[in-house]
């Protein structure tokens, strides 16, 4: 993809400073047993955020559909087309959210970044740690000059109104 230099190597494991040992790593189909309950357990709130833009997560999403989604994300990561990082506990026994790093769909940015945490983490230390860390991580480890943090520096409604390239 032209949005990343050909020699760019994406980070594989990142500890979230101040995140209580939580870490980021590229998601895979093997994460479905943890991802599905995390997503569906927070589905109503996630739909209120991502539904208008991505039609995700649908109320009727099956485990198999979720698995297929994760396998698609893993293939996109491998091809450097898009990146989905799981937010997992230090011991790897629970998924607490995701961070998305995507090529821009709208004008004015060279990457679009968003993230979510499960309902139990909303407003807590992990979400605050992510809000502080992700922009610093993107600035320090990724080759973007104009990243857009959707849901943070621009609302999803504002993003939906932006022109496409």
- Does the residue 3 lie in any domain? no
Give the CA distances from residue 98 to residues 71, 108, 163, in Å, rounded to whole numbers and listed in that order. Answer: 15, 24, 26
Residue 29 has pLDDT above 50, yes or no: yes
Token duo for residue 94 = 């629970």
The overall pTM is greater than 0.85: yes
- Does the residue 150 lie in any domain? yes
CATH of the domain at 22: 3.40.630.30
**What is the domain extent for residue 143?**
14-118+127-160
- Does the residue 132 lie in any domain? yes
- Does the residue 6 lie in any domain? no
Residue 113 has pLDDT above 90, yes or no: yes
- Does the residue 29 lie in any domain? yes
At residue 3 the predicted structure's pLDDT band, cuts being 50, 70 and 90, is confident
- How many structural domains comprise the chain? 1
């Amino acid at each position: 993809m032209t949005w990343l230099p050909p020699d760019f190597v994406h980070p594989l494991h990142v500890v979230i400073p101040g995140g209580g040992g939580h870490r980021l790593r590229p998601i895979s189909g093997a994460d479905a047993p943890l991802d599905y309950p995390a997503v569906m357990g927070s589905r109503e709130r996630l739909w209120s955020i991502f539904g208008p833009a991505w039609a995700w997560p649908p109320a009727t999403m099956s485990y198999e559909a979720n698995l297929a989604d994760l396998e698609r994300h893993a293939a996109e990561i491998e091809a450097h087309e898009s990146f989905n990082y799981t937010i997992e506990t230090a011991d790897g026994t629970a998924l607490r959210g995701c961070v998305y790093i995507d090529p821009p769909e709208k004008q004015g940015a060279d990457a679009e970044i968003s993230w979510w945490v499960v309902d139990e983490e909303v407003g807590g230390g992990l979400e605050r740690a992510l809000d502080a860390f992700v922009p610093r991580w993107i600035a320090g480890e990724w080759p973007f000059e104009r990243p857009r943090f959707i849901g943070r520096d621009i609302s999803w409604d504002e993003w939906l109104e932006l022109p496409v390239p």
